[in-house]
Amino acid sequence: MTDEPKKDYDYLIVTGFPRSGTTLMMHVLRAAGLPWSTQGDDVSGEDHRTLEHHWEWLDAEVGRAVKVLDPQINTPPKHKKYRWIVMRRNWIEQARSVRKFTNAIGLGKSVSRLTDKQLADSFERDWPKLSAVVDDRGPSIIVHFEDAILRPLVVCRRVADFIGQGEVMTMANVIVNRSTRCLDDLMEYGMMVKRT
């Protein structure tokens, strides 16, 4: 993956595996003044049209951040001008977060047969596939979730330089000072409750 200086792009894709910090990055981008896709969920920024495996709607999203989980499965079309921010997290902590999240939303059975190590191994096994899709479709940076939490100013400066906009302190202020380990609660749930 590359860390090239900013070039023109039509779409900024935030990607990674589930529970890697993509929602956090969407909030950082919103603070940078970059709008989310028009159908993006107000809490996570996720646009469920990315799961439909057809992308005609993408042309209406020029200039916006679009969250695409698992791009090796939900692959955006070639021949568009993308920039990618790829979120990566410690595989074991991510596996714990996936388990916590799926249990909270009633889908825990889908991962209950797997240990945290097996889930983590699946992320590691799929990483080259994810990377290949990103490498084939435009400039990218990798942002480690742990770095975003522990060094928000450094990460936000790098992101602002990469996307060509944003006030670093404003961007960094949306990152909650917390442990990098999987928390017991769902921060997103608290955000949803505050909005209702």
Contacts of 115 (CB under 8 A, 6+ apart): none
> Which of 165 and 183 is assigned the larger pLDDT?
165
> Which of 7 and 119 is assigned the larger pLDDT?
119
- Do 68 and 51 touch, CB atoms closer than 8 A? no
Alpha-carbon distance 159 to 111, whole Å?
Answer: 33
Domains contained in the chain, CATH given = 11-94+123-180 (3.40.50.300)
Q: What is the pLDDT of residue 108?
A: 63
Least Cα distance to 11 among 73, 72, 74, 79 occurs for: 79
Token code pair at residue 58: 């993408």
Hunting for tokens 């990218």 — which residue is that?
140
- Do 134 and 57 touch, CB atoms closer than 8 A? no
Give the mean pLDDT of the chain.
Answer: 86
Q: What is the pLDDT of residue 142?
A: 98
Least Cα distance to 143 among 10, 49, 29, 8 occurs for: 29
Cβ atoms within 10 Å of 185's Cβ, excluding its own: 9
Q: Is residue 191 predicted with pLDDT exceeding 50? A: no
Helices (H), the chain: 22-31, 91-104, 109-112, 116-135, 145-150, 152-163, 168-172, 187-195
Say what the pTM is.
0.87
Least Cα distance to 19 among 183, 159, 138, 137 occurs for: 183
Q: What is the pLDDT of residues 32-89, one digit of tens each?
A: 999 988 787 777 777 777 777 678 888 888 999 999 999 999 899 988 999 999 999 9
Q: Is residue 10 predicted with pLDDT exceeding 60? A: yes
Q: Is residue 193 predicted with pLDDT exceeding 80? A: no
Alpha-carbon distance 72 to 93, whole Å?
Answer: 21
